[in-house]
């Protein structure tokens, strides 16, 4: 019995020593950054913008790996089941940890234990837009119009459970409106019907809508961030009319649960330095993205806050993953 206990204690000590040594040497080989979406999308663009500078600071190559599918859980699962050594990183959007647990009946990993935050990466603004021929000029007029026409104002999204869907549901619930969700398979199809006036409003990525706002085909009524957006300072935050409204998806970095704290701290330090670099900030801002870092603890607190917010929205709406 005593021999068995001593053997277990020795094994635990050696394991801790091994982890400590590996953390000190980290990284000594290439890393992979998993993006749980197809190439060319917003998350992919941001991931590739930070991968190069981060690789330079770490002294090792970072390979961006696109693993799309199952509402971003496919890519997330590959990191959640990878070794807890800091060599598999996940570019995380709200789905894997914040919204999918309430949209899906079952997930392939434990979103609270299997993925742990490293740092916030960016805030992506969404813009509330309407077709130019809709007879409203500002957000208050839109709310009045929707109240005068209950059940007749439709809002589009790129799919059930997508950011554009949940932001629309948050707007609907916060303003106390009777508006109808219309789900599409992708942003492109939703945009076509929005431009033609088949649907009357949408809250989605600024990057998607900016060209059509500039051409005059769409009218921007509000931005989903709490503050005005630097690229379009003339558009007020929705929060100026609906206090506290924040429908912007957070993007952040996670690693496998159980990854040594020393490795997480190293990644956090280097990533935050990248996000503070003027050339990186400028590149991201051109793509409608605000670079913003954090500590791991701050990101963990933000995950908890966002989870509570979107849980309520999802439960009231009755949304389920398609």
CB-CB neighbours of 108 under 10 Å: 14
* Higher pLDDT among residues 110 and 71, named by residue: 110
CATH number assigned to the domain covering 129-240? 3.40.190.10
For residues 262-267, give the mean pLDDT: 98
Q: Given this model, what pLDDT does residue 287 score?
A: 83
Q: Is the peptide bond before 198 cis (omega within 30 degrees of 0)?
A: no
The pLDDT confidence band at residue 5, using thresholds 50, 70 and 90, is very low
- Of 5-9, 287-291, 295-299, 317-321, the range with the lowest mean pLDDT is 5-9
Mind giving me the DSSP string for 113-169? Answer: TSEEEEEEEEE--EEEEEETTSS--SHHHHHHHHHHSTT--EEEESSTTSHHHHHHH
Confidence of residue 21 (pLDDT cuts 50, 70, 90): low
Note whether 29-124+249-317 and 129-240 share their fold: yes
Q: Specify the pLDDT at position 116.
A: 98
pLDDT digit string, tens, across residues 58-69: 999 999 999 998
How confident is the prediction for the chain on average, in pLDDT? 92
CB-based contact 201:128 (threshold 8 Å):
yes
Which tens digit of pLDDT belongs to each residue from 296-310? 999 999 999 999 999
Domain residue extents for the chain: 29-124+249-317, 129-240
pLDDT at 294 over 70: yes
Architecture of domain 29-124+249-317: 3-Layer(aba) Sandwich (3.40)
Q: Write out pLDDT tens, residues 111-167.
A: 999 999 999 999 888 999 999 999 999 999 999 999 999 999 999 998 889 899 999
Q: How confident is the model at residue 222 (pLDDT cuts 50, 70, 90)?
A: very high
Task: Look at residue 159 in the predicted model and tell me its pLDDT.
Answer: 87
Per-residue pLDDT tens digits for 191-209:
999 999 999 999 998 878 8
Q: What is the DSSP string of 54-108?
A: HHHHHTS-EEEEE---GGGHHHHHHHHTS-SSS-EEEEE-HIIIIIHHHH-S--S
pLDDT band at 210 (very low <50, low <70, confident <90, very high): confident
pTM of the model: 0.86
């Amino acid at each position: 019995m005593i021999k068995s206990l001593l053997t277990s204690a020795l094994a635990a000590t050696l394991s801790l020593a091994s982890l400590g040594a590996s953390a000190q040497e980290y990284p000594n080989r290439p890393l992979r950054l998993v993006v749980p979406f197809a190439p060319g999308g917003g998350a992919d663009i941001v991931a590739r913008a930070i991968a190069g500078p981060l690789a330079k600071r770490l002294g090792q190559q970072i390979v961006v790996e696109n693993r799309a599918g199952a509402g971003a859980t496919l890519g997330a699962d590959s990191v959640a089941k990878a070794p807890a050594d800091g060599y598999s990183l996940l570019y995380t959007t709200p789905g894997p940890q914040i919204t999918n647990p309430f949209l899906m009946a079952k997930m392939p990993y434990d979103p609270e234990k299997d993925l742990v935050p490293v740092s916030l990466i960016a805030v992506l603004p969404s813009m509330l837009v309407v077709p130019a021929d809709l007879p409203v000029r500002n957000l208050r007029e839109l709310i009045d119009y929707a109240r005068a026409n209950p059940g007749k104002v439709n809002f589009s999204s790129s799919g059930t459970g997508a950011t554009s869907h949940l932001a629309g549901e948050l707007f609907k619930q916060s303003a106390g409106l009777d508006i109808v969700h219309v789900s599409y398979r992708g942003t492109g199809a939703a945009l076509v019907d929005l431009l033609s006036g088949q649907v009357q409003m949408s809250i989605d990525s600024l990057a998607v809508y900016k060209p059509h706002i500039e051409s005059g085909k769409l009218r921007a009524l509000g931005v989903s961030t709490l503050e005005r957006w630097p690229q379009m300072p003339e558009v007020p935050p929705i929060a100026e009319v609906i206090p506290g409204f924040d429908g912007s998806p957070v993007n952040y970095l996670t690693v496998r649960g159980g990854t040594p704290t020393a490795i997480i701290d190293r990644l956090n330090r280097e990533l935050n330095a990248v996000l503070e670099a003027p050339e990186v900030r400028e590149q991201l801002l051109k793509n409608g993205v605000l670079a913003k870092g954090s500590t791991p603890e701050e990101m963990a607190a933000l995950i908890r806050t966002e989870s509570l917010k979107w849980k309520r929205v999802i439960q009231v709406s009755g949304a389920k993953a398609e």
